[in-house]
Structure 1
Amino acid sequence: MVNIDEIDKRILTELQQDADLPLESLGERIGLSRNACWRRVKALETAGVIRKRVALVDPNMIGLRLSVVMQIKAAKHDASWLEKFARTTRSLPEVQGVYRMTGDLDYLIRARVADMADYDRFYQTLIARVPMGDVSASFVMEEIKETTELPVHRA
């Protein structure tokens, strides 16, 4: 873990809301000069605190209207199955997140697809590449909150 002070937390909060914020504006918001802001942002990037800067695309505007959460039970519990599962899920662009879980299920997948037919195509691709013990899916009816922002003020 990296030592992050209150100024760094304020920088991270601002950049999570707008990563394109000019350094002059960022400095004004947090009370630092442009150069001081630049040094701190570069230090946060070098330390790996800021992993990368991206554009957040509205999935509905590009036709990916269906959000799905898949619960997976592994067909096998060995290193080769896990390697194949990880490689496959990383390669599928529909997959937004993959998590190894405790409890009754082994993995959770978050994915975005256009519609049910697109989900079926995605599902068929996934199970053709990796044998599964069991797969069940739930479809999101309403997104109440979806964010990439982390509560850095609590860290």
Structure 2
Amino acid sequence: MDDLDRRILSILQKDATLPVERVAAMVHSSKSPVWNRIRKLREAGIIDRQVAILDAEKVGRAEVFFVMVKTSSHSRAWLERFAAAIADMGEVQEAHRLAGEIDYLLKVRVTDTRAFDSFYKRLVAEVELFSVTSLLSMETLKETTEIPLTEEDVDTPE
């Protein structure tokens, strides 16, 4: 991946609906080479997928909870059950296995606290957990899907 690939990807992360001609103009190249690079980036799996990012409040899913999970079991079977359980729960937007005191962190998006309570009851019924702590996000200060790829994407102090 060279600088041109990184510049193309930075643009597509902001707006993947831009026509190839526009992306090419923005990176000071022509359409065919940019199209070929995008195709190769898709084939290589660097571009994983293209999606629409929804406004959670406008679709009625404004409440975000972060769920910290500790488990007393670290077996492969337990992890497979846990992973299968959360994979089937649409409320879970992200799930991370952590190093440190907390074993797993879930980002859960729901309509309200009653919906979260329903989610929580389903989760603890599916898999045995040692302890669960839930935190309600009061305000989102930053949320992005972009990965910094160029120096322009990284805000560095001078």
Question: With structure 2 as the length reference, what TM-score do the two structures score?
Answer: 0.93
CA distance in 2, matches of 1:106, 1:128: 18
The percent of aligned pairs where both chains have the same amino acid is 37
Residues matched between the structures, number: 152
Give unpaired runs (5+ residues) of structure 1. none
CA RMSD of superposed structures (Å): 1.2
Please give the per-residue CA displacement for 1:38-71, whole angstroms capped at 9, x wherever unaligned.
Answer: 1000110111110000000111111111101000
1:76 aligns with 2:73: yes
1:94 aligns with 2:88: no
Runs of at least 4 residues off by over 2 Å: none
How far the C-alpha of 1:125 sits from its partner, in A, is 0.9
How far the C-alpha of 1:75 sits from its partner, in A, is 3.9
The equivalent residue for 1:41 is 38
Q: Which structure: greater helix fraction?
A: 1
How far the C-alpha of 1:32 sits from its partner, in A, is 1.4
CA distance in 1, matches of 2:94, 2:72: 20
CA distance in 1, matches of 2:24, 2:75: 51
CA distance in 2, matches of 1:95, 1:143: 17
Partner-residue secondary structure (3-state), 2:84: helix
CA distance in 1, matches of 2:62, 2:13: 24
Give unpaired runs (5+ residues) of structure 2. none
Partner-residue secondary structure (3-state), 1:67: strand
Q: Which of the numbers 10, 13, 21 marks the counterpart of 1:13?
A: 10
1:114 aligns with 2:111: yes
Partner-residue secondary structure (3-state), 1:59: coil
